[in-house]
Amino acid sequence: MRLIRYIFVFVLLTLFTANKAEAFEWSRWYSDLKTNIADTWHCGRLDAYVPFYAWHNRMFYDDDHIRKYNEEAWGFGLGKGLWDGNEWHGLYFMAFKDSNFYLETMFGYGYQYNWSLSEDGDWKFGLGYTLGFTQRHEYSYIPVPLPLPVASLTYDRFSLQAAYVPGIKNNGNVLFMWLKFSF
């Protein structure tokens, strides 16, 4: 539970300290978000996504739930990604098999700040967030908001990305992972 709090605080700090010299303004943040989404849509490169794993945190699930849940969240998705210095912006759509073996979709905008791990800049570690929606069987596929923390390890055009879905006992608390290839 402590890890979830740290991730939540990190995402909030990322959102609210984008420009430390000025006070945070929702209108400016929203304006920047719209600009980043438009730039990504118009200038971004094609990305392919392959969701593959949904780990259910054993600290929050009993054995009965773990036995019946699917953790092989295979699927496919497409998107557009735009690099602006160390910042990555992405628009994405993914469809995959959820924990209950039903189709789940996820779509939205992602942002990550990346730190170079190698001198040539090919290896990067990123932290950020996604603002999107998911559609699940148990909600009759009505879009449900999905703001999540995201982390990645990138080598050149390949990325391993993951988001943590917080939750309660036997619900949520899932580390969702996917691969991304940028064309």
Concerning whether 159 is annotated as a catalytic residue, the answer is no
Concerning whether 64 is annotated as a catalytic residue, the answer is no
Catalytic residue (choose from 99, 152, 159, 182): 99
Catalytic residue (choose from 31, 32, 39, 56): 56
Q: How many residues does the chain have?
A: 183
Catalytic residue (choose from 47, 98, 159, 182): 98
Concerning whether 99 is annotated as a catalytic residue, the answer is yes
- Which residues are tagged catalytic? 56, 98-99
